[in-house]
Each structure stands twice: as C-alpha cells, then as structure tokens.
A and B are shown apart, each in its own frame.
Chain A
Amino acid sequence: MSFVRFLAGRLVKAVIVVLAIAALNFVLVRLAPGDPASVLAGEAGATDPKFVDELRARFGLDKPVWEQLLIYLGQVVRLDLGFSYRNQVPVIALIGERLPATLLLMTSGFLFSLVAGVGLGVLAARARFLERGRFLDSVVMTIALVFYATPLFWLALMLVILFSVQLNWLPAFGMESVGANLTGVSRAVDIARHLVLPTLALGFFFMAVYVRLTRAAMLEVMNQDYVRTALAKGLSPREVLRKHVLRNALLPIVTFAGVQLGQMAGGAVLVETVFAWPGVGRLMFDALLQRDYQLLLGVFLITSGTVVVFNLLTDIVYLFVDPRIRVEGRAR
C-alpha cells in the first residue's frame, strides 16, 4: 500500500513541477527582446510594418501576456503543445519527428558512459583492492581526469578531424547515409556507424564521472568493517569484491544515473550542432534564436517531463537496490 501512496504522491508532485516549468519558461521567453513575428518579418525582408502586425495577430501575440499564459497552460493541461509559428505545423509533430534521434543518441551515450565508466571504475578499484596494478589504477584515473576536464564541443571537433577527416573511418555527421536507400540490417549498420562519434563525444565526460564515482564508492565500501570481517573470515578477495563491494557501491551510481539525463540534454545541444544530428537539442536552440515560443516551450516541457519521469524511475530503482531506504519518511 505504502508503495502506491508513495508513487501517487510523487506523480502529483511531478505534474505540478511540469506545470510550474511551463509557466516559468513562458515568462522567461517573453522577457527576451524580439518575437517570432519580428524575426519572420526580418528574415523575409518585409518593408511593410502592417505585415508584422498581421503576423502578430495571426499568432495571437497581440493579446495581453497573462491571457496568452492562461491559454497556453490550458493547452498544456489538455496535452496540446500548440502550433509552431515558424514551421506552420503542430509542435508535437515537430518534436515527434526529432525525438527518436535524440533518444537514440542519449540512450547510446548513456549506455556507453555507464558501461565503460563502471567497467573502468571497477577495474581501477579492483587493481587497488587486490594490491597489484597500481599502475593500471593510475592510468584509468588519468584518463578519467582528462575526459572530465575536456570541453565537450572541442572533443567533438577533434573526433571529427581525427576519425572522419584524417583516418576516414567513420562518417562525420548526420544520422544515416542520405540517398543510399538502405533497409533492414544494412540500414541499422549505417546508423550505428553514424552514431559512434556522437556517442563518444557525448559519453566521455559522463564516463569519467562514472569511473570516479564507482572507484570512490568501491574503495569506501572496501574500508567498511563487514568487508574486513569477510576477508578475515577467509573469503577470497575476489569473492568479497563480487558479493559485498560491488553490490553496495551501486547506490551512488544509480543516483548519478538519475541526474545524468538532465545534464546530457544540455550536452546534446552541442553534439547535435557539431554532428548535424537531427535531434531535439538543435531544434530547441534554433527555436530559441527564432523566438518560436510554442516550439521552445514544447521542447522544454518534453525534456523536463522526461527528466521528471526519469527521477521517478530512479526513486523506484532505489527501493530495490537499497532496501534500507524506507518508503515513508525517506528524506532526500
């Protein structure tokens, strides 16, 4: 029962957070100078001020701002994200078109960073724990430190130069070979090849975070009394490592996985820019520059909504990973 109550409570909170985000963003974007009508008129080279007024009226921008906000929130409640002024199509359609690309990029970036990061972290901690291979530990940690300090966009540019231009191993940009008309397996392979560099660019930083987290968490657990006891009882270090250390070091990893999504969304803007990846991050940036209010708000809402859902999932995973956390009275 308590689980259901917990879940319901979190859900209600999530909905409130999402609506608050919608309202906050709405106010924020209206503070920016310029509006979609002036941008469109500017790009069109319109010399007729009446034209701009007509556009404003068509977009409903001539109404008072509070009225526009109410209209917008009313839409959001009905799960309607509105119409993109600029592209003349519903916002949801535009986002829907781009979302799969971003999800693919983020998922593969996420998996890469998680697997490589935790793997290397375990390797480093293990080397230290088994009292051999301090060198390995140093190498892994140095790699982690360097990637932790590398600007993502710069790394992306360097990857393109090295792997696409110099070595010509991998495509430099885009999500698939345009015009190749591939299907089935060959298309999947094609997309996978395009995915490699963006995934690396997006994932290396987070990989570094996981390496450090995993290693630190494991080293911390290794110093706990029960581990020492287990060792003293004559269990082999390998066994202790597997049975006690790894399991108990999982918590901070899960915690970080929960917040990683939000951070990666920002990185996606950069990666999608450099690699011409047809995703939502770039859509957001363009919408921002062009003051395509409804589209921008829509992207924000979807992203924040996803983060909220992800946090919820993290909370649930917590319950299973760490039974010590009681459902009620859990303070985060």
Chain B
Amino acid sequence: MRRISVRQTGLAALAVLGAWAFPAAAQTPVKGGTLAGIVQPEPPILMLALNQQGPTIYVAGKIYQSLLTYEFDLKPRPVLAKSWTMSPDGLAYTFDLQENVKWHDGKPFTAGDVVFSVDVFLRKMHPRARVTIDRYIASVTALSPVKVEFKLKEPFGPFLSLFEVSTLPMVPKHVYDGTDFATNPANQTPIGTGPFKFKEWRKGSHIHLVRNEEYWKPGMPYLDELYFRVIPDAASRGVAFERGDVQVLRGGDVDNVDIRRLRGISGVETTTKGWEMYSPLSFMMMNMRKPPFDNLKVRQAAMHALDKSFIQRTIFFGLAKVANGPIASTTLFHDASIKPYAFDVALAKKLAAESGVDLSKTPVKILAFPYGAQWDRLTEYVKQALEQVGFKVSIEPTDAGGWAKRVGDWDFDISFNFTYQYGDPALGVARHYLSSNIVKGSPFANNQGYSNPKVDDLLRQAASAVKAEDRAKLYAEAQRILVEEVANGYLVELEFPTLWRSNVKNLVQTAIGLNESFEDVWIAK
C-alpha cells in the first residue's frame, strides 16, 4: 500500500534515476538561495538539549549536531565523529572527532565539549536520554582533544543508536559550564557547530537562520538562508505551500487529505522516507487496571472490532500502514510474521460474550487525543466500531495539558498515542511494556499498566545482548506475547510525507529526514 514516490534518496538512487528525474544528468550543487519551511507548532525554545519536540528538532537540527547520524537502514554514519570502535566485550566505545570544528561563537569544539555535553548537561537535563545515560553510561573521558571514550556499566546493544541529534546534541562547555542550564540567556541565542547559525526569531511569525561561514565542511552549506514560518492553521499551511510561500512541507504540517491534492501540483515531489529513526507507531491504550479492559478477551474483542485497513485508508488517507505489533516495520527487529488482529465483528462479539463481562454495565470513555483532525476522526470511528460489538462508549474531550496529565496519572479508560521508536526497541518500545516503567507522571511510560515478568526478562536480555541475531530472537518472542495479550491495541504505523518543490535538492537523505543539518541542500536555478 505504501506509495513509492521517492525520487531522490541518496546517491545510489540518484545514479539510477538521474537520467530520468533530472534531465541535466549530473547536476553540480549551486551556492546561494533561500529555503522556507514551516515550523508547527512554534517551539518554546531552540536549545535542543532542553527541548526535543518535533518542531524544535527540525529547526535546531541545523544549529546543533551530534556525533552520528543514520542511514535509511539505521546504520550509523559520521557527523562530528569521524570514526569509532567498540571493545570486544561491548563495554567501551571510542570516537575520533572531526578536526577544526568551531562553535558559532568561534571557540573550538573539542572532546571536552563531548564529555560535558553527555556526562554533565544531558545527564541532568535531557528528559528522555538522562534515564538511559544514568542506567548505562559509567563515564565519558577525553583521551585527547579529538578522541573521546565512553565506558558502559553493562553491555547495551543499541548504544550506537543513541547519537541522533535530538538525543545527544553537543552543547558548548564554555557557554554553559557552571551556569544554571535552564535559565542561561544563551538558550535564547543557540550556539552549535551546525551549518546554519541562529539569526532572529520573531515570535509568532518566523525563525531566521543564516549560513555559518566557518562551517567545518569546506564549501558547505550551499544555502544562504533558512526561514521557518509559524502558521497555526493547517488549511493556511496548505495554502502557503500551494502559493509557493514555503517550499517544503514536513509530515504533519497539513492534513493528509491536503497531501493528496498538493502532491498533484506539478513540480512538487514527495517521499515518505526520512522517518525511519522515529518510525512513529500509533496504538490504543486500554487501561488494564480496571474493568472491562482488565479482561484479556475484552481487549481482544476490541481489537477484532476495529477495521485497521479502514483506519489506514479513510482516516489517514492511505498515509499509514497497518501495524502488526509494537515494533514498526521500518525499524530494527520487526517481526513480519505476526498477523494483526483481523476485522471480524462476529468474532469480537463472541469473545466479548466469552469474557463474562457485561459490557453494557461497564461503559467506557475515550480520552480524546488532542493532536489534530485525524485523531478526532479516529476517536469518532473507534467509538462507532466499539459500540457495534456492544461496548458503551462516550468521548471525553481534552486539550494537550489535560491529556498529558490524565494519561500520566492513569486516569483514563481508552486513549490513543503515537510514539517514536528511536531506531531500536530498547530505546523507544520497551518503555511502554517494562513493569518497572509503571510509574505516574509521564504519558510515555507503561501507562496502560501491562505487567508480565516473562516480557520484562525478554526485553532486558535483548537490550544488553550485543549480537544482532540474539536480539532479534528475543524481540520476536516479546512481540508475539505483546500482541497476543493486547498489551496495547496496535493500529497503524504513521507515514509522514515530505513535500517539496522539485528545484530543492538533497532534502531527505537519512533516517532523520528533515531534521538533518541541510548542509548539502541546494536550490537549482
């Protein structure tokens, strides 16, 4: 079902398709030009080590860099690290850093900055990564100004997947050391090593970045300026692209239905690649702490009641793929042999009857997921579908603040969520199922209250195994159990299409897509 509309992905594709896609065969990048995109919603702050919302990464990914980035197949590729080695026991990793890298204020970037960033700043401030750093990283040491060593407390399979720019962004030691990180005035004028420098942020209007003339890759970046415009209304964002006010649309900028129309415009190209690192997967959380969802058959009935391909086709307008389990097909260790729950109303009714639960006496409420029109449509659809098999359902509206609070406090019957997988199940998936993660306060933990010691074991072993085959086996087993026990109701893998005007080149080339630094993006005249 996935539309293959990728026209320029990496050099290999270029070589093959070059003649057809670009009549001018081997095009050499030209310097200059301005690229405008949309930042939506407007980020609160651009200091990437303090805030990692999607829009923040999109903008700040041009300013800040990490040691690595990732190919479409999630293999690491060098950024600030030139090369790296792992000790045979998997307990130590050594990175050789690029030379002659400068911060935007002219000071040199060294191994000391890496140590400070990971061991001090991020260990304290990063809402997601600090848990991993604390659990696995014993020490970070500068062996020389361009060599740094990470020592682990125990082997950690996905260690090399940690260096995505929003997970471990490098921050300048000379600016932050000894200050209050949260209130440091430099947070308003971010300083990184990336190809673009922060110029101006007109709140509510736009963010302006300009070329870093002293970027460490000679000749780059090609573009002079980047603008990110703030446009709160989805319909207006579609109009902006249509009129050419912006040349790039990021997935989620416009409603999926608009995508269909916009990509029909001549001179517009599109791809759904560039999200492999995140591979957002949506699921229905059913609170297992109370009736009726404490009953496995009721959960299975609910899953059989939902027509996943209707959701894929009509609610997400085809820009999604039916999910068969907790691990997305675009990421590592996905088990393709698992079958999703079939849409079967009769079976759903049968399971509901077998469960012994009187559904008419245990009404359930769907806590709406307040992130846009398609989630509203999904909520409305699920209400209808569940009612058809005998559930009594009502919708509780809420806004972002209320949603995060109530899911974090386990105060819901049903709700939806979609979460990033961060390239490895140990980073993005296990958090929803480990019983040790049944903690209040975060909407991204094990909020539904799933607990199975067997699964706990499997996930732990898989995280610390170093060999890929071992990890694959353990995750396959875990996936099977999670699906069978409906640890969450897996719905669809979301596809976020990127749209751009075809004179913009090299936009989506890695697994982090538009969050890349744009160092080699250029505009054909």
Contact = CB atoms under 8 A, between A and B. Distances in A.
Interface of A: 32-36, 38-49, 51-53, 58, 86-89, 94, 97-98, 101, 157, 160, 164-165, 168, 171-176, 178-179, 272-279, 282-283, 286, 288-291
B128 interface: yes
Contacts of A58: 182
B10 interface: no
Contacts of B131: 47-48
Contacts of B82: none
A86 B440 CA distance: 22
Contacts of A34: 401-406
Contacts of B206: 174, 178
Interchain residue pairs A-B with the least CB separation, the first 6: A278-B204, A42-B404, A34-B405, A49-B441, A46-B127, A34-B401
Contacts of A277: 204
Interface of B: 34, 36, 41-42, 44-45, 50-53, 127-128, 130-131, 182-183, 187-188, 202-206, 208, 225, 227, 229-233, 235-236, 239-240, 242-243, 245, 398-408, 419-420, 431, 437, 439-445
Contact of A278 (B230, B399, B420): B230
Contacts of A47: 128, 131, 431, 437, 439, 442, 444-445
Given A39-B401, A47-B442, A291-B401, A172 B236 contact: yes
A6 B403 CA distance: 49
B243 A52 contact: no
B402 A173 contact: no
A101 B204 contact: yes
Nearest to A95: B203
B236 A43 contact: no
Contact of B233 (A41, A94, A164, A274): A274
A174 B442 contact: no
Contacts of B128: 44-47
A86 B36 contact: no
Contacts of A41: 127, 404, 408, 441-442
A302 B57 CA distance: 32
B182 A273 contact: no
Contacts of B231: 173-174, 276
Contact of B183 (A38, A52, A88, A290): A88
Contacts of A49: 439-442, 445
A273 B52 contact: no
Contacts of A46: 127-128, 442, 444
B400 A289 contact: yes
- Taking each of B51, B187, B441, which has the highest tally of chain A beta carbons within 10 Å of its own beta carbon? B441
B51 to A, nearest CB: 7
B227 A178 contact: yes
Given A46-B442, A47-B444, A87-B45, A276 B403 contact: no
Contacts of B404: 34, 38-39, 41-43
B387 to A, nearest CB: 26
B211 to A, nearest CB: 14
A165 B205 CA distance: 21
Contacts of B441: 38, 41, 49, 51-53
A89 to B, nearest CB: 7
Contacts of B127: 40-41, 44-46, 48, 51
A14 B34 CA distance: 50
A178 B229 contact: yes
A178 B204 CA distance: 12
Contacts of A40: 127
- Taking each of A47, A49, A178, which has the highest tally of chain B beta carbons within 10 Å of its own beta carbon? A47
A42 B405 CA distance: 8
Nearest to B41: A286
Contacts of B188: 88-89
A168 B205 CA distance: 21
A292 to B, nearest CB: 8
A34 B524 CA distance: 48
A33 B406 contact: yes
A279 B204 CA distance: 7
Contacts of A179: 34, 36, 208, 225, 227
Contacts of B202: 97, 278
Contacts of B44: 86-88, 290
A273 B40 CA distance: 13
A47 B182 CA distance: 19
Contacts of B242: 165
Contacts of A98: 203-204
B401 A38 contact: yes
Nearest to A56: B441
B236 A290 contact: no
Given A34-B401, A41-B442, A179-B34, A51 B419 contact: no
A30 to B, nearest CB: 12
A283 B442 CA distance: 26
A198 to B, nearest CB: 12
- Taking each of A33, A49, A279, A282, which has the highest tally of chain B beta carbons within 10 Å of its own beta carbon? A33
Nearest to B439: A49
A183 to B, nearest CB: 15
A88 B187 contact: yes
A41 B404 CA distance: 8
B439 A42 contact: no
A37 to B, nearest CB: 9
B45 A164 contact: no
A282 B131 CA distance: 35
B33 to A, nearest CB: 11
A314 B231 CA distance: 36
21 contacts: A32-B401, A33-B405, A34-B402, A39-B401, A44-B128, A47-B431, A49-B442, A51-B127, A51-B130, A51-B441, A86-B44, A88-B45, A97-B202, A97-B203, A165-B242, A172-B240, A179-B34, A278-B230, A286-B42, A289-B400, A291-B401
B264 to A, nearest CB: 15
A289 B401 contact: yes
Contacts of B225: 179
A157 B127 CA distance: 39
Nearest to A279: B204
A290 B88 CA distance: 47
A210 to B, nearest CB: 28
Contact of A42 (B50, B232, B400): B400
Nearest to B35: A179
B402 A52 contact: no
A179 B419 CA distance: 35
Nearest to B184: A88
Given A87-B44, A174-B229, A48 B402 contact: no
